């Protein structure tokens, strides 16, 4: 009688090599998010990232075909992180909608202060490098902005339902306007090493909503 030649799956911890591979890939991406948020994509060589975490170049190419593929994976990871942050700040129904938006901008200001204004928005940084990036990058950046706008729009729509802002306010346009202006405020905050541009932009955006 023939027996099944396949071994049954092992229970308990996953094989050490598989766990190590996953950890290495996650470390590469996390380091990429950190580094590209500060220095950008074009100015950052792979050697800089690999030396930073002690990963040989041969191992890098086990996970990514080239630097572009790596950069796209880093954008995905950053977008996942940022969407989770938007949900955390803009989602809670027990907080008034516009207060949620203020809480988000204040959190961003604290984050920039924490790193002495050396880091900004990774997506915003890459937006400054469009002439050197492929269409795949451009599509990723646009997709990120569209997702972020949806979260702000949902928050503004609730404020509208609660009659905090006027019924004739176009919340879709205002959510797009928010991100267009916010990215500029972040760049100015990096330049001046001061949170004042973020505070000013938040105030003027709210005034425009409530006018």
Question: pLDDT tens digit string along 47-62?
Answer: 999 999 999 988 899 9
Structural contact between residues 106 and 199, judged by C-beta atoms closer than 8 angstroms: no
List CB contacts of 209: < 8 A, sequence separation 6 or more. 98, 156, 159, 165, 169, 174
In the CATH scheme, what architecture does the domain 72-210 have? Answer: Orthogonal Bundle (1.10)
pLDDT per residue over 18-38, tens digit each?
335 678 999 999 999 999 999
Above 70 in pLDDT, residue 4? Answer: no
> Please, are residues 149 and 175 in contact by the beta-carbon 8 Å criterion?
yes
CA 116 to chain centre: 19
Question: What tens digit of pLDDT does each residue of 59-82 get?
Answer: 899 999 999 999 999 999 999 999
Whole-structure pTM value: 0.85
Map out the domains of the chain as residue ranges. 72-210
Q: Specify the pLDDT at position 17.
A: 35
Q: Which of 12-26, 108-122, 160-174 is least confident? A: 12-26
- Residue located via tokens 């509208």: 160
């Amino acid at each position: 009688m023939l027996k099944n030649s396949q071994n049954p799956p092992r229970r308990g911890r996953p094989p050490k090599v598989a766990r190590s591979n996953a950890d290495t890939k996650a470390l590469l991406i996390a380091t990429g998010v950190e580094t590209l948020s500060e220095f950008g994509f074009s100015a950052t060589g792979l050697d800089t990232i690999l030396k930073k975490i002690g990963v040989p170049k041969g191992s890098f190419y086990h996970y990514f075909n080239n630097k572009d593929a790596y950069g796209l994976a880093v954008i995905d990871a950053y977008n996942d992180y940022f969407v989770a942050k938007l949900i955390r700040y803009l989602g809670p129904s027990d907080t008034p909608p516009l207060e949620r938006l203020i809480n988000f901008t204040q959190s961003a200001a604290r984050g920039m202060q924490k790193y002495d204004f050396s880091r900004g928005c990774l997506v915003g940084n890459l937006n400054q490098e469009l002439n050197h990036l492929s269409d795949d990058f451009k599509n990723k950046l646009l997709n990120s902005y569209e997702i972020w706008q949806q979260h702000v729009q949902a928050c503004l729509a609730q404020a509208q339902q609660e009659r905090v802002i006027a019924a004739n306010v176009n919340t879709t346009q205002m959510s797009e306007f928010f991100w267009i202006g916010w990215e500029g405020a972040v760049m100015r905050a990096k330049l001046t090493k001061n949170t004042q541009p973020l505070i000013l932009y938040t105030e003027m955006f709210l005034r425009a909503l409530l006018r």
